[in-house]
Each structure stands twice: as structure tokens, then as C-alpha cells.
Amino acid sequence: MWIRWIYSALLALAAPFLLVSLYQKKPGKPSFGQRWREHWGITPKVDATNPLWIHSVSVGESIAVTPIIRELKARHPDLPIVVTTTTSTGAEQIAKLGDLVTHRYMPLDFTWCVRGFLKTINPSQMLIVETELWPNTLHTVAKAGIPITVINARLSERSCRRYQKFQSVFNLLAQNLTQVLCQYQSDAERFIRLGLNPKKVHVTGSVKFDIQVTEEQVQASKFLRAQLGENRPVWIAASTHQGEDEIVLEAHQSLLKSYPNSLLILVPRHPERFNDVASLCTAKGFMTHRRTSERQEFEHSQVYIGDTMGEMLVMLGAADICFMGGSLVGEKVGGHNLLEPAALAKPLLNGPCYYNFSEITQTLLKNNAVILCDDASEIHQQLVKLFDSPELAQQMGKCAHSVVKDNQGALAKTIELVM
């Protein structure tokens, strides 16, 4: 009890700073408008009784849970689902599900905020995507008799060691969990090592392997590629972070010497960086255009900025080779998910840091589907190698696609355990 009191006091002190960051206006970031009240538990009623509550904090988790939501509604058309996100960009992603779900913003982790939400929504159970664990939320939800399941759960060795330093905090979280559905056996072993009851832990696999590429997305990719140019080398640097764009652009500058008509699709991870990255490209002398530009002719473009949200699959599909960002900036990020380009049979390049997706990346490495690059020079060398040898690029893409297909099935296992 005293641990939660201390935590709540610290949260109260930190809340103003967290809220400033959350509500700060940034280019490309949707506004919360009057819905900011929902963060304080002042939640509008929903037209449903005892809905299933799914929490996906932001964009990545919202994308990951989308196949689960679609499958749940396919099996149980009358099942009401309320999805909460903390961020407005996550809300924008969930909005793409239309009337399959109802969206609400997640209440802050104060007991009275969570109680306000529960009183209005009265959910039948709570599903948490990945490992978004908040002490007061878990305590209040569990005390209300609502089962809590963590789905698609992952726990890196680094995070496990951090929890071990504060074992009493983890115990506080764990006692409220009904079950934890892990992506891999290694994740399950770490949860058990921390003291979670083995009977509560299941290995379902990663639902991220159960990627659904729609015909609409395929056609949109073909249309984009036709706009960008069918007969030119095109590579994409996806989900880049600050400090990586310069490295990627250096690699592209070198590539242009070998392939003068090559094109880089550059997609920053965060929308607030779109303008800065576009300015950086222009300042370095690249002929730069943006996806939101009205221009329709891109024959002489050298860099194409993907400055929209929720279209990553479309832009990946339009490229020949994918470099995944978040993997060149030391331990600050820990990599991003390679499975979307793998599902599209793209040869993959990645930086050396990928601890957040260690299992997935290691599996792709073992199957010769991804090449690790430490710097701009190595990225350039591998790009030239793959563009010089289309057969090698195609073989790498096939290996990546096979990894995805061979590991599918987590979706069905997850739904069986939560319904």
C-alpha cells in the first residue's frame, strides 16, 4: 500500500510536466480538443453494456492490436469493444477501424480518474497491449473484479533487470494480473523469473506475425510506385529517429553516385519531425518532395518524405529494399518491428541495436532475411550489392516472407485465451 502512496505522490508532482508534453501542439499531431477531460476520468457514456476494454497506448500498439480486433468482431459480431489510447496519434489510428470499436482516451493513473472511467464504461474485462502497466490502474481495475490480461506481452532482458532492482514494484503490478500472453518463451521465462505465477503465463507467439495486407494497400503501393517511377532503384528508411536521418542521407548521397536516378523514401517515426526532416533534406541539396505535396510528377526527386500517418505498408510496398530505423541510435530506441516489410517480401537492412525486437530480428538473421549495418558506409555498400544483384534481393525477400508465414497463428491462440 505504501508503495502506491509514494508512487501516487511522485506522479502528482510529475503530472504537470507529462501533460505539457502530451498536449503540446506539434506539426502533424492531431489535437485533443475538448476530449482532454477523458484523461481525468470524465468519460462519455458508450452505447453498450459491459464492453470489452482494450488499451493500446499509442500508434504502434494500435497497429498491433488491429488484427485482434478485426478477428474478434468476425467471430463475435455483437461484441462491444472500447479501445483506449493515451495519445491523439493513437486515437487517429484507432479511428480507421470505424464502427468496429468505440474510442476513449485512457484516464491518468490516479485512482479517482480510473474509477470515473470504470463507473461510466463498466467493462467486462481489460486487455492491455504489450506491457503498458500502471500501478493504480491495475489495482483499481482488479479491485473492481475485472479480469486483466496482457496480450502480445514482451519483456526484454534489459527491462527485466530494471524490474529486478525494484522487485516490490513489480510484485505490486503482478498481483493484479489475471494472465500474461507472451510473444516468446524467453519473454515468459523473464516474467516467471520476476515471480509471476507460471500458471498465469502463456506463450501465444507474436500477433505481429499475423499481418493482414489488404488489396486496397497493395493497389495503393502500386499506384505510388508508378508515380515515383517504375524503372528506378527505390529504397525506404522507415521509422527513423533524430540522429539517424543524417546517416541515411549520407548513404543515399553515396548511392546516387552509383545509381543517379535512385530514390529514398524517408519516413520519420514521429510526425512532429516531418518539417525538420524535410528541411534537412533540402539543406543538404537533395531534390525533395513530400507525400502531402500536391506535386504528382516525381521523376527528378531524390528524396520522398513520407509525412502521413498510417500509410507505412503502402510506402513499404512501393520500395525495393527496406532499412528499418530506430536501430542506429544506440540504446535510446532499441529498434523497430521488421515484420511489415518482411510480410511484403522486402530484403531488409537494420542497424546494430534491436533489443526491443531481439527475437524477431534474430529469427530473420538466422534465415538470411536481414543484414545488419553499423553506419552510412555499410548501408551504402549493402544497397549497391542488392541493387546490383536483383536475384539476391529477391531471395532475401522470399526468406523474410517465409519467416512471417511460418510464425503465424498467435492471433487464434490469443483470442482462445481471452474469450
The residue whose grid cell reads 486496397 is 216
**Same structural domain, 269 and 384:** yes
Q: Is the pLDDT of residue 400 over 70?
A: yes
pTM of the model: 0.73
Q: Is residue 93 part of a domain?
A: yes
Residues 388 and 413 in one domain: no
> Cell triple for residue 77?
459480431
Q: Does 199 share its domain with 234? A: no
Q: What's the whole-number mean pLDDT along residues 254-265? A: 97
Q: What is the reported pLDDT for 128?
A: 95
**Amino acid at residue number 105:** Y
- What DSSP assignment string belongs to 299-331? TT-SEEE--SSS-HHHHHHT-SEEEESSSSSTT
**Domain interval for residue 185:** 27-210+409-418
Does 359 qualify as catalytic in the annotation? no
On average, the pLDDT of the chain sits at 92
Q: pLDDT per residue over 12-23, tens digit each? A: 888 888 888 887
- Residues 143-194 have pLDDT tens digits of 999 999 999 998 888 889 988 988 888 888 899 999 999 988 999 999 999 9
pLDDT at 199 over 90: yes
In the block, cell 517515426 appears at 269
Same structural domain, 179 and 51: yes
Q: Residue 2's pLDDT band (boundaries 50, 70, 90)?
A: confident
Asked if residue 352 and residue 258 are part of one domain, the reply reads yes
- 62 and 101 in one domain? yes
Q: Is the pLDDT of residue 1 over 70?
A: no
Domain assignment present for 19: no
Tell me which residue of 184, 87, 240, 199 sits closest to 250, measured CA to CA. 240
Give the pLDDT score at 132: 80
Claim to verify: residue 195 and residue 221 sit in the same structural domain: no
Quick one: pLDDT at residue 192?
Answer: 95
Separation of alpha carbons 125 and 325, rounded Å = 35
**Domain count for the chain:** 2
Within a domain: 2: no
In sequence order, the β-bridge partners of residue 82 are: 53, 102
Q: Residue 13 falls within a domain, yes or no?
A: no
CB 270 within 8 A of CB 253: no
CA-based nearest residue to 363, from 333, 337, 383: 337
* Residue 95 covered by a domain: yes
Catalytic residue among 61, 92, 244, 340: 61
The predicted-structure confidence for 58-87, as pLDDT tens digits, reads as follows 887 888 888 899 999 999 999 999 999 998
In a domain, 278, yes or no: yes
Q: Which string of DSSP letters, residue by residue, matches 241-287?
A: -TTTHHHHHHHHHHHHHH-TT-EEEEEESSGGGHHHHHHHHHHTT--
Domain identity same for 183 and 219 = no
Same domain, 244 and 151: no
User: Do residues 340 and 312 touch, judged by C-beta distance below 8 A?
Assistant: yes
Alpha helices for 166-242 (secondary structure H): 167-174, 185-193, 215-228
- The reply to whether 413 and 385 lie within a common domain is no
Contacts of 144 (CB under 8 A, 6+ apart): 118
Q: Tell me, what CATH number does 257's domain have?
A: 3.40.50.2000
C-alpha 316/C-alpha 235 separation (Å) is 9
Q: Domain with 153 in it: what CATH number?
A: 3.40.50.11720
Write out pLDDT tens, residues 291-310: 988 776 788 899 999 999 88
- Asked if residue 259 has pLDDT above 90, the reply is yes
pLDDT digits (tens, 9 = 90+) for 212-236: 888 999 999 999 999 999 999 999 9
Q: Is residue 5 part of a domain?
A: no
Residue 237 lies in a domain: yes
The cell 518539417 sits on which residue? Answer: 275
CB 221 within 8 A of CB 318: yes
Q: Which residue has the cell 504537470?
A: 16
- Answer yes or no: do 293 and 389 share one domain: yes
One domain, residues 232 and 108: no
